[in-house]
Amino acid sequence: MKRTKDKAQKEKELTWLFAFQEKCPDCPRSIPDQPIPLAPDLIFSETSLGIEVTEYLLGQGKDGSHSRRLESVGGRIVRDTQLEYERNINHCL
């Protein structure tokens, strides 16, 4: 089952790449390698260019996924905290 799912995912990634190639003349035209995971989804070996295909889920809203919103909020909290700290101390982090 997993192998079938992996193959289907690889085919889907190639489909998206081909659609991108049609729209972007700067994209390499060769067929890329598709290495096993923990590497980019597609690699153009002649240019050492790796591409990661990301699928955004429908219905996640205009602000993106819940995880991305939490990441943004966390970053904002850290920045605000750093600024407040630096206002009250004579040196910067």
In this structure, the answer to whether residues 36 and 68 fall within a common structural domain is: no
Return the pLDDT at 69: 65
In this structure, the answer to whether residues 46 and 8 fall within a common structural domain is: yes
In this structure, the answer to whether residues 78 and 48 fall within a common structural domain is: no
Rounded to whole angstroms, how far apart are CA atoms 69 and 7? 31
Number of domains in the chain: 2
Q: 78 is in which domain, residue-wise? A: 60-93
Return the pLDDT at 6: 79
- Cβ-based neighbours of 17, under 8 Å, separated by 6 or more: 27, 32, 42, 51, 53
The predicted-structure confidence for 48-92, as pLDDT tens digits, reads as follows 788 887 766 555 666 666 666 666 777 788 888 888 888 877 765
In this structure, the answer to whether residues 14 and 37 fall within a common structural domain is: yes
Check: pTM over 0.75? Answer yes or no.
no
Return the pLDDT at 59: 58
In this structure, the answer to whether residues 36 and 64 fall within a common structural domain is: no
Name residue, tokens 């085919």.
11
In this structure, the answer to whether residues 74 and 32 fall within a common structural domain is: no
Work out the mean pLDDT of the chain and round it to a whole number: 77
In this structure, the answer to whether residues 7 and 42 fall within a common structural domain is: yes
In this structure, the answer to whether residues 47 and 73 fall within a common structural domain is: no
Look at 7-16, 25-34, 35-44, 59-68 and tell me which has the smallest mean pLDDT. Answer: 59-68
